[in-house]
Chain A
Amino acid sequence: MDTIAIPAINLAVIAPEVVLSVVAMALLLINVFVKSEQKGYLGYLSIAGILGTLLMLIPAWGSSVEGFSGTIIQDNFAIFFKVIFLISAAMSILITDKYLEREGCNQGEIYPLILFATVGMMLMASGTDLMTIFLGLEVLSVSLYVLAGFNRNNIKSNEAGLKYFLLGAFSTGFLLYGMALTYGATGTTKIAKIASYIAMNGVSSSNLMLVAGMILMSTGFAFKVAAAPFHMWTPDVYEGAPTPMTAFMSVGPKAAGFAAFARVLLVALPALKPEWSSLLWVLAVLTMTVGNITALYQQNIKRMLAYSSIAHAGYILVGFTAGNAVGTAGILFYMLSYAFMNIGAFAIIILVGKKGEENSNVSDYAGFGYRHPVLGIAFCIFLFSLAGIPPAAGFIGKFYLFSGAIQAGYIWLAVIGVLNSAASVYYYLRVMVFMYFKEPTEDFEWVKLTPAFVLCLLIAVIGVLVPGVLPGLFLELAQKAVLM
C-alpha cells in the first residue's frame, strides 16, 4: 500500500499570522474580564501583538520561503504589504479608544476584530493559491462587516455594516466564480502553475473560459479596492462606519486587495496582459475621474475622503495598468505613503468631531487652523500629500506611478491622471480655505489630544515627510519587493 505523502507544512511561513491570531483570541478572552472603562488597555495589548508580529516579519526580509505545498509564500512582496497592514492597523487602534468612548460603544471586541482582519489581509498578500487568497479575503471581509457596523447605536453605522455585507457578499460571488472558471480552464488553483500551464499549452486570449475567469476575478477585486464602476458601496460605508474603522478600511483592505490582485494578474496571468491592461486602463480612468469629480461636491468630510480614496485607487490602477517593475513598485510605495497620510487625516477628523458623528462637515472646520495651529499644520501636510504636492510622500508616489505608465507607453493615461490630480487639489484646498480663512464659529475646546493621538499623528507626519524628502531607501525596498 502506498504511503500517503504528507505535504510539507512549514509553519514558519505563517508564524506571524499565527502569533497575531493567538493574540486576537487571547484578547477576546481577556475582554470578558475587563471593565468597560478600561477597554482601552486592550488596544495597547493589541499594539504589542502587532509590534511582536512586525519584529518577526522584518528578519524574514530578503528570503523567499514557501509553505503548505506552495499555497502560501513569505517573500519581499508579501512582507512589504504586511508591514503596511500592520502599520495601518496599529495607527487605527491608536485612535480608536477615545472615539469609542465618545460615541458610547466602548466594546472591547473591536481590537480582536481589527487583528483578525489584519490576519486576513496578510494571508491575501501571501497567498499563492487562489484558495488561500479567497480564504484570506473572507477572514478580512467578515471582520470588516462587523467593524463597519460596530457603532450599533448609530443607524448610519448599521446601514454601513449591512450594505457592506450585502455588496461584499455579492462581489465575493463574482470573485469565486472567476476563480472557478480559471480552475476550469487550467486545471489548477496554484498561481505559479496557472502561469506554467498557460505557457505550456499555449492557452491564450482565444480561450473564453480563461478570459471570463480573468474578467470576473478582476470585477471581484475591483469591488474590494473600490474601483469605479464598482465603487457604489464606498461612500455610504465610509461615512457610516466608525471613523477609526473608516481610516482602517480605506487603507489596509485596499492594499490587501491590490496585493492579491497584483499577484493574480502579474504572476498567474501575464499571458493575458494585453487584455487585462486594457481593462485596467478603463477602470483607472473611470475610477480617478468619478472619484475626483464626485469629491468636488461633497460637504461631509468623511464622504469627501471616501471619494478621494476612490480616486487614489484610480492612481494606483494607473501604475497597475503599466504592469512593469516601475509601476508595480509605485503601487507599493504609494500604498505605504497613503497609509500614513490617510490615517493621519482621519485622526484629525476624529479629533474635530463631536458625539454622534457631529461636526463632520467641511464648513465645521472654519477657523480650526487658528485655534489649533499645530494640528492645522499637520492636517495641511496630510492634505498636501493627498493632493500630491512635493515634498510630501504622496508626490513621490504619484511620480513613480505615472513614470511607470509613461514607460509602458500609456501617455494619455498619465495625462488623464495628472489632470485628475490637479482637479483633486481643489477639494483638498477647500478644507484649508475653511481652516484658515473663515472666521472661527467654534472654540474647538473639546479637541483634546491624548498621548495615543499624539503618537499616531507623529508617526503619520514622519511617514509622510521622510519618504517625501528622502525616498531613496523606500523606493529601493519597493523595487526589491516587486521581484516576484
Chain B
Amino acid sequence: MNQIPILTLLLFLPLVGALLLLALERREGMARVVALCIGLLETVLACSAWFCQCNLPVANAPKGFFLFEDLPWIEALGIRYTIGMDGISLLLVILTALVTVIAMLTSWRSITERVSLHYLLLLAMESGIMGVFLSLDLFLFYLFWELMLIPMFFLIFIWGHGRNIYSAVKFFLYTLIGSLLMLLAIIGIYLIHGSQSGIYSFGLSAILGTQFTSATGLWLYAAFLLAFAVKFPIVPLHTWLPDAHTDAPTAGSVILAGLLLKTGAYGLIRFGYPLFPEAARTLTPLLIVLAVTGIIYASWIAFAQKDMKRLVAYSSVGHMGFVALGIAVWTPVALSGAVLQMVNHGLTTTALFALVGMLDERTHSRQIEDYGGLWGKVPLLSAFFVLFAMASAGLPGLNNFVGEFLILAGSFKVAHIATILAFIGVILPLVYTVRLIQEVIFQEERRPLTLSDLTLREISILAALAIGDLYIGLHPAPLLEILKTPVALLTGGSP
C-alpha cells in the first residue's frame, strides 16, 4: 500500500483550488495564474500515477487496480468512499488533467468577465470528472456524475453566446433525466443485491456477482444505457450536443468534447457491461445498429454544416459512434481500440475546438464561408489546422487511425455487416474534412481578413496536443500495454 493517497489528492486538489479562487474573487490576474498552477500540479500528479503501475497487486483491491483507497463514508446505507485506478482510468485521468489545462489556456484572453468564477468552475468540473473516472462505488459515481453537470451548465450559461440559455437548459435536462433514471436503477441494484446477499452495499466489486432475472436486468441495464447514451451521445439522443457545443465558450466546448463525452463511454465500460453481462448481450445488436447509424448520419450532417464549431461537434458524434461500436462488440481488441479512441478523440477534438476558438477570437466569425486563403497569411495556424483535421479524418500515422483500425479489426469477426458499414464512416469524415481544409485554408481569400499568427501561448497548446497525436499515431504500444490487463479482465480473459 502506498503511503501518499494519490487518488484522493487527484480528486480534491482541484476542489481545493476552486475554494481558493473563491477568495480571489476580485483579483482576476492572480486567479488565472493560481488556477493554471493547480491545473499543472494536477497534471504532474496524474502523470506520476503512471509510475505506480508496478504496485500490483494491491491488498484488498479488485484485480487490475494498482491504486486503491477505501474508507467508510455513510455507513447507515453501506456507502463507502471507494476509489481505484486501473489502466483505463489512468489514461482518462491523464487526459482529463491535460485537457483541463488546455481549456484554461484557451480561455486566457477570451474570457474577460468574471474570470475567477470561470476558472473556479473549470476546476470544480475537473474534480467531478476525476471522480467519475475513479469511483468504484455506485453512489459515489452518481454523485460525481451529477457534480460535473452543474459547472458545465454555468459555463455554457454565463459565458456562452447565441442561444446559450436554450442550449444550457437543454443540455442540463437531457443529461439529468438520463441520470435520474440511472439513480433509480442504482437503488434497484442496491436493494436486489442486499436482499440476495444480506449485505447492503453500493461497492462495485460487491455488487458484481449479483444475479438478476432477465427482465429485471434488462430494465436496470436500459436505465444505465439511457444515462450513458445521452452523454455519449448515441444517435438519436445526440441533439443537445451540437447546440451545447455551438453556444458554449471555447473552454466549455473543449471540456465537453474532450472529457464529458468520455464519461458516458467509461460508465458503460466500467459499470454497464460488467454489471449486466446478460442484458448487455441482449441489447448489443441495438447498440451496434445505433452506433453505425450514428457514425454515418453524423458524418453526413457534418458535411452540410456552415459553422465550423457545429461541424466539429457533429464529427464528434461520428467519432463517438466508433467508440460505441468498439464497446458494443466487447472483444479485447475492439475494447482497447475504443478506450484508445476515447483518448484520441479527446486530443484531436480539443485541438480542433481550440483552433476554431482562436479563429473566432481573431475575426469573430465561425462561418466557413468567411474564410479562405489562410495558408499564405497565417502559416503556423494553417499547418496545425491541417494536421488536426487530418488526424480527425483518420490519416494513418496519426492517432485516430490507430483507434479506428483497432475497433474495426476487433468488431469484424463479431459483426460483419456493421463493420463494413462503419468503414463508410471512415471515408465520410475524409470528405467533409478535406472540404473544410480546402475552403478555409487553401481556397482564395473571400473576404479581406486581418489575422495574426499564433502567439506563444497558442503554440504551446497546439504543440502539446500535436505531440500527443503523433506519439499515439506512431507508437501506440505503451498505451495498449497499459490497457491490456484491464481489458482482458473486463472481457473475461486472463491478463
Contacts and interface: CB of A to CB of B under 8 A. Distances in A.
B172 A429 contact: yes
B169 A429 contact: yes
A426 B169 contact: yes
Contacts of A426: 169, 173
Interface stretch (A16-24, A129-137, A278-286, A402-410): A402-410
Interface string B356-386: 0000000000000000000000000000000
A425 B176 contact: yes
A402 B185 CA distance: 11
Contact of A437 (B75, B165, B184, B188): B165
A471 B172 CA distance: 26
Given A402-B187, A403-B191, A436-B158, A472 B76 contact: yes
Nearest to A421: B180
A171 B74 CA distance: 41
Contacts of B25: 373
A382 interface: no
A167 interface: no
A418 B187 CA distance: 12
Interface residues of B, number: 32
A422 B176 contact: yes
Secondary structure call for the A interface = helix
B74 A475 contact: yes
B154 A436 contact: yes
A229 interface: no
A275 interface: no
B146 A390 contact: yes
A425 B177 CA distance: 10
A471 B177 CA distance: 24
Interface in A371-404: 373, 384, 389-391, 395, 399, 402-403
Interface in A411-428: 411, 414-415, 418-419, 421-422, 425-426
Nearest to B178: A422
Contact of B165 (A403, A422, A433): A433
A422 B184 contact: no
A391 B148 CA distance: 11
B395 interface: no
A424 to B, nearest CB: 10
A122 to B, nearest CB: 27
A476 interface: yes
Nearest to B117: A373
Interface string A85-106: 0000000000000000000000
Given A422-B180, A425-B173, A391 B77 contact: no
Contact of B180 (A373, A419, A471): A419
Contacts of B111: none
Given A389-B150, A479-B76, A415 B181 contact: yes
Interface string B121-151: 0000000000000000000001100110110
Most buried by A among B142, B157, B187: B187
Nearest to A430: B169
Interface string A441-484: 00000000000000000000000000000111001100100000
B20 to A, nearest CB: 15
A419 B169 CA distance: 16
Given A403-B187, A406-B187, A433-B165, A418 B181 contact: yes
A415 B184 contact: yes
Most buried by A among B73, B142, B143, B164: B143
A433 B114 CA distance: 16
B143 A384 contact: no
Nearest to B143: A390
Given A415-B181, A436-B157, A476 B76 contact: yes
Contacts of A437: 157-158, 164-165
B184 A402 contact: yes
B88 interface: no
Most buried by B among A373, A399, A418, A470: A418
Contacts of A390: 142-143, 146-147
B287 interface: no
B113 to A, nearest CB: 9
A406 B169 contact: no
A419 to B, nearest CB: 7
Nearest to B158: A436
A399 B183 contact: yes
Contacts of B153: 429
Interface string B46-61: 0000000000000000
A406 B191 contact: yes
Contacts of A418: 180-181, 183-184
Most buried by B among A384, A475, A479: A475
Contacts of A421: 180
Interface in B3-38: 25
Contact of A471 (B74, B114, B176, B184): B74
Contacts of B74: 470-472, 475
A433 B184 contact: no
Contacts of B76: 471-472, 475-476, 479
Contacts of B142: 390
Contacts of B181: 415, 418
A471 B73 CA distance: 9
B77 A475 contact: yes
Contact of B73 (A370, A395, A407, A472): A472
Nearest to A473: B76
Contacts of A406: 184, 187-188, 191
Interface in B68-99: 73-77
Contacts of A475: 74, 76-77
A426 B174 CA distance: 11
Interface in A281-302: none
A415 to B, nearest CB: 6
Contacts of B150: 384, 389
Nearest to A389: B146
Interface string B160-176: 00001100010011001
Contacts of B149: 389
A419 B177 contact: yes
Contacts of B164: 437
Nearest to B76: A475
Contacts of A432: 157
Contacts of A422: 173, 176-177, 180
A475 B143 CA distance: 17
A325 to B, nearest CB: 12
B134 to A, nearest CB: 16
A296 B177 CA distance: 17
Contacts of B176: 422, 425
Contacts of B180: 418-419, 421-422
Contacts of A402: 183-184, 187
Given A370-B114, A472-B73, 10 more contacts: A389-B146, A390-B143, A403-B191, A406-B187, A406-B188, A419-B177, A426-B173, A432-B157, A437-B165, A475-B74
**7 interchain residue pairs of minimum CB distance:** A418-B180, A475-B76, A472-B74, A422-B177, A390-B143, A390-B146, A403-B187
Interface of B: 25, 73-77, 114, 142-143, 146-147, 149-150, 153-154, 157-158, 164-165, 169, 172-173, 176-177, 180-181, 183-184, 187-188, 190-191
19 contacts: A373-B25, A390-B142, A402-B184, A403-B187, A406-B187, A406-B191, A415-B181, A422-B173, A422-B177, A425-B172, A426-B169, A429-B153, A433-B165, A436-B154, A436-B158, A470-B74, A472-B73, A475-B76, A479-B76
